[in-house]
Amino acid sequence: MPHQHRWHHPLCLAPRPLRPWLTESGSLTARLIAHHPAFSVRVLRQRATAAHRDELAPLGQTRRQRTPMREVLLLSGTQPLVFAHSVTTPQAVRRGFRKFVHVGGRSLGSMLFASPTIARSRLAWCRVDTRHPLWRKAVAAVGPLPVRLWARRSLFYAGGDRLLVTEVFLPPAFATP
């Protein structure tokens, strides 16, 4: 997967209780539901916008252009657990990821892991801080947060189409030092 260098922070730097969540290769949604029966999805925004700079290479783009984007909070009751940000290409929502624009209040994982034709890359993870746009978006969604948060991302493939999913783990559910 064409991740930039900063998405390969050593996993040993992550808090020990968070490591199994960062490396979960199955559906994060399924794991959250198993641990948090009051699980729900709150859609924050879904629209076309410019991809972040560190998303261009994984999406196979060479310049910033308007791309379909979805941001949600994964919650347990009213407690935010994960800020999730997904982005794809305009072509992908007309082909392999047509359902992306129709997921609504369901988790994206329910679509991705239900299809045998969708493949997933290896996971990559890093600490995002105040300089990263996803940290700023998470703060805008939930309020004050520590200056560093752990996140993971992976690409999903439907033929030649790509969908990049990034999940930022939020305290206090996923406390970080």
Are 160 and 6 within 8 A, CB to CB? no
Is residue 89 classed as helix, strand or coil in its secondary structure? coil
d(CA 69, CA 47): 5
More confident residue, 50 or 4: 50
More confident residue, 177 or 69: 69
Paired tokens of 38: 């009051």
At residue 160, what are phi and psi to the nearest 5 degrees?
-90, 0
- What is the per-residue pLDDT for 11? 85
d(CA 103, CA 131): 30
Q: What angle do CA 169, 124, 177 make, to 5 degrees?
A: 40
Q: What is the mean pLDDT of residues 133-156?
A: 95
Whether 5 has a pLDDT exceeding 80, the answer reads no
Whether 172 has a pLDDT exceeding 90, the answer reads no
pLDDT in tens, 69-126: 999 999 999 999 999 999 998 898 888 887 787 788 888 888 888 888 899 999 999 9
